[in-house]
A and B are shown apart, each in its own frame.
Chain A
Amino acid sequence: MTSTQSTYGQVHDVLVEVGLEPSEITSGAALRADLGVDSAELVEIVTELAPGSKVDGKVLKSVVTVADLVVFLDNLA
Chain B
Amino acid sequence: MTGTVITGIGLALPGASDTDQLWRSVTGGRSAVRPIERFDTDSYPCPNAGFLAEETERETIGTFTPRVRKRMDRFCQLALSAARSAQHDAGLAPSADADRTGVYVGNMFGGWEITEPSLRGLLDRGYTGVSPHIASAWFPTAPQGQITIGNGLTGLSKTLVADSASAALAIGYGARAVAEGRADVLLAGGAEAPVTPYTYTFCTTSGRLSPTGTYRPGDDAADGFCVGEGAVMLVLEREETARARAAVPLARLAGFAVRHVPEDEVFGPSDTKALAAVLTAALDEAGTDRVDCVALDAQGTAGADESELSAIHSVLGPVPLTTAKPVTGNLLGAAPAVDAAVALLSLRHGTIPPVAGCERPRNADIVVGAPRETPVRNVALLARGADGTIAASVLRAI
Contacts and interface: CB of A to CB of B under 8 A. Distances in A.
Interface residues of A, number: 15
16 contacts: A18-B67, A18-B70, A19-B66, A38-B71, A40-B132, A40-B135, A40-B136, A41-B71, A41-B132, A41-B133, A44-B132, A47-B132, A51-B128, A52-B125, A52-B128, A53-B128
Interface in B103-136: 125, 127-128, 131-133, 135-136
A25 interface: no
A53 B127 CA distance: 10
Nearest to B66: A19
A63 interface: no
A41 B137 CA distance: 12
Contacts of B67: 18-20
A61 interface: no
Contacts of B70: 18
Contacts of B125: 52
B43 interface: no
Interface in A7-57: 18-20, 38-41, 43-44, 47, 51-55
B95 interface: no
Interface of B: 65-67, 70-71, 125, 127-128, 131-133, 135-136
Contacts of B65: 19
B71 A40 contact: yes
B28 to A, nearest CB: 39
Which 6 A/B pairs are nearest by Cβ-Cβ distance? A19-B67, A43-B132, A40-B132, A40-B133, A44-B132, A52-B128
Contacts of B66: 19
A40 B134 CA distance: 9
Contacts of A44: 131-133
Main secondary structure of the interface of A (DSSP, over half): loop
A41 B71 CA distance: 8
B149 to A, nearest CB: 10
B128 to A, nearest CB: 6
A29 B342 CA distance: 48
Contacts of A20: 67
B136 A47 contact: no
Nearest to A54: B128
A7 to B, nearest CB: 20
A47 B133 contact: no
Contacts of B135: 40
A52 B126 CA distance: 9
Nearest to B136: A40
A55 B135 CA distance: 16
A41 B132 CA distance: 7
A18 B67 CA distance: 6
Given A44-B133, A51-B128, A52-B128, 12 more contacts: A18-B70, A19-B65, A40-B71, A40-B132, A40-B133, A41-B71, A41-B132, A47-B128, A47-B132, A52-B125, A54-B127, A55-B128
Contacts of A54: 127-128
Contacts of A39: 132
Nearest to B67: A19
**Among A20, A44, A53: residue with most chain B CB under 10 A:** A44
Contacts of B131: 44
A36 B303 CA distance: 52
Nearest to A46: B132
Nearest to B134: A40
A69 B354 CA distance: 59
A22 B125 CA distance: 32
A53 B136 CA distance: 22
A39 B131 CA distance: 12
A20 B67 CA distance: 8
**Among B132, B133, B135: residue with most chain A CB under 10 A:** B132
Nearest to A44: B132
A54 B126 CA distance: 10
Nearest to B127: A54
A38 B125 CA distance: 24
Nearest to A20: B67
A44 B132 CA distance: 6
A41 B198 CA distance: 25
